[in-house]
């Protein structure tokens, strides 16, 4: 955490670095390419390549980071013209990106930090698997975005889906989203259903339930607080939707996932 004017020092590491920004913007150059990594974004810094801050941060900067090595080398591939995934790959994600599910990735990163701070772990493999789960989560999101393209989900609808995930904790209506993206509400509703197979209300409630799962599993709050924090305005309706999407009640989920 930095109050103001943070400038990352120049270095070449023999290990990889994954940085996830929680607040502010980190200005960093990797292998000669400058990046401005904003809140909710991550950057992967490859071992053996120089990185350094090319501009001080403006205001508060908060980010999570982890240094790690890997048995197999990382390979850089281009997604411009499409590509075939190697059969033996374990992790695959853009060098600089933004996960659609900010809360989930943040939770997994904090879980890794919690384990790293414990003085006694019965096996160091906990750290390795925790890091692997974080990397796999980012990989899964990236592959999901590729699947959306293959399933003929247009960039516009994909952007709207990401926007709903980021804003579903607020009061939202189809009219609000149509106005945000300058579309006719009826046309947008038809387009969304045609490309995703889901109604707007179904996807909105699904996104809200996902947020509430992160709250229930990582913060000691009540069911009512979880409902209102993720955008529901009726506790009973929230519990009904949670059971519909997850097959269990919020309390059952909370009791089963009492740790991060």
What mean pLDDT value characterizes the chain? Answer: 87
CB < 8 Å & 24+ apart, contacts of 166-169: 166/40, 166/100, 166/102, 168/204, 168/207, 168/208, 168/211, 168/230, 168/231, 169/208, 169/211, 169/229, 169/230, 169/231
Does residue 219 carry a pLDDT above 80?
no
Domains identified in the chain and CATH numbers? 16-71+91-150 (2.60.120.280), 155-256 (1.10.10.60)
Does residue 7 carry a pLDDT above 70?
yes
Residue 236, judged by CB atoms within 10 A of its CB (0-12, 13-18, 19+), counts as: exposed
Q: What is the pLDDT of residues 229-255, one digit of tens each?
A: 999 988 999 999 999 998 889 988 888
What pLDDT shows up at residue 218?
Answer: 63
This prediction has a pTM of 0.64
Confirm if 174 and 204 have CB atoms less than 8 A apart: no
The average pLDDT across 215-221 equals 74
């Amino acid at each position: 955490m930095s109050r103001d004017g943070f400038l990352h020092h120049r270095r070449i590491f023999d290990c990889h670095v994954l940085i996830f920004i929680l607040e502010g913007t980190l200005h960093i150059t990797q292998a000669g390419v400058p990046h401005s990594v904003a809140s909710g974004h991550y950057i992967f810094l490859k071992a053996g390549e120089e990185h350094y801050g090319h501009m001080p941060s403006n205001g508060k900067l908060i980010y999570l980071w982890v240094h790690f090595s890997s048995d197999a080398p990382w390979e850089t591939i281009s997604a411009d013209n499409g590509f075939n995934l190697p059969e033996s790959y374990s992790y695959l994600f853009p060098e600089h990106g933004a996960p659609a599910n900010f809360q989930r990735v943040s939770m997994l990163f904090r879980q890794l930090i919690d384990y790293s701070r414990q003085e006694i772990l019965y096996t160091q493999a906990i750290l390795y698997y925790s890091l692997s789960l974080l990397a796999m989560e980012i990989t899964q999101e990236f592959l999901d975005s590729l699947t959306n393209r293959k399933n003929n989900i247009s960039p516009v609808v994909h952007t709207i889906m990401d926007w709903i995930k980021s804003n579903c904790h607020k009061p939202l209506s189809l009219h609000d989203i149509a106005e945000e993206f300058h579309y006719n509400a009826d046309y947008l509703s038809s387009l969304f259903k045609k490309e995703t197979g889901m109604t707007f209300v179904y996807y909105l409630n699904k996104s809200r339930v996902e947020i509430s799962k992160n709250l229930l599993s990582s913060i000691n709050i009540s069911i009512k607080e979880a409902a209102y924090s993720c955008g529901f305005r009726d506790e009973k309706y929230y519990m009904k939707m949670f059971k519909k999407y997850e097959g269990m009640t919020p309390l059952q989920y909370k009791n089963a996932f009492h740790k991060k």
